Amino acid sequence: MIENPFRTAPFYYFYTSINFVLGKIHLHDIRLYAHHGCLAEETIIGSDYLVQLSVEGNLTRSSVSDDLSHTIDYVTLQSIVKQEMSVPSRLLEHVGQRIIDKVLNTLLLVDKVCVTITKCNPPIGGDVAGVSVVIEQAR
């Protein structure tokens, strides 16, 4: 069982006596070069990708403490995206779910995750700026 991070003094009284500060953190246009796709050429040559990541969680403690260790660290979020995007997959859905799983397993303050992965200039035989997959999951 995961211990509630707020059940430590001096925040226990604070935590139980005020409303939650629910917040969202957005990472916009994380630019990466990766090797995803069903075609052999895609996994060899690679493509440009844009990733949007949004998380929701309880920011009550950090809004009062001004302490990085009490919040959802966006540096860690970016690192997770970069790490999971570096592992080749045939489907963007698979990459997106790996990102969500890693965020939820790593950052206990996160209650909900939404990730959008866009493959720029996909090889689909037309003038298309990008194709995106959006996956969202809550605890």
Q: What is the pLDDT of residues 52-110, one digit of tens each?
A: 999 999 999 898 889 999 999 999 999 999 999 999 999 999 999 999 999 999 999 99
Query: Are the beta carbons of 99 and 74 closer than 8 angstroms?
Result: no
Residue 99 lies in a domain: yes
Residue 13 lies in a domain: no
Q: What is the domain range of residue 119?
A: 23-138
- CATH for 127: 3.30.1130.10
Residue 17 lies in a domain: no
pLDDT at position 17, please? 53
The pLDDT tens digits of the residues spanning 13-55 come to 445 555 777 899 999 999 999 999 898 888 889 999 999 999 9
pLDDT at position 92, please? 97
Residue 2 lies in a domain: no
Query: Are the beta carbons of 51 and 131 closer than 8 angstroms?
Result: no
Residue 125 lies in a domain: yes
Residue 4 lies in a domain: no
Residue 9 lies in a domain: no
Distance of alpha carbon 132 from alpha carbon 45, whole angstroms: 19
Tell me the pLDDT band of 117, cut-offs 50, 70 and 90.
very high
pLDDT at position 88, please? 95
Distance of alpha carbon 5 from alpha carbon 94, whole angstroms: 31
Give one word for 138, left, alpha or beta, with left for phi > 0 and alpha for psi -120 to 50. beta
Residue 3 lies in a domain: no
pLDDT at position 4, please? 52
Distance of alpha carbon 25 from alpha carbon 107, whole angstroms: 13
Number of domains in the chain: 1
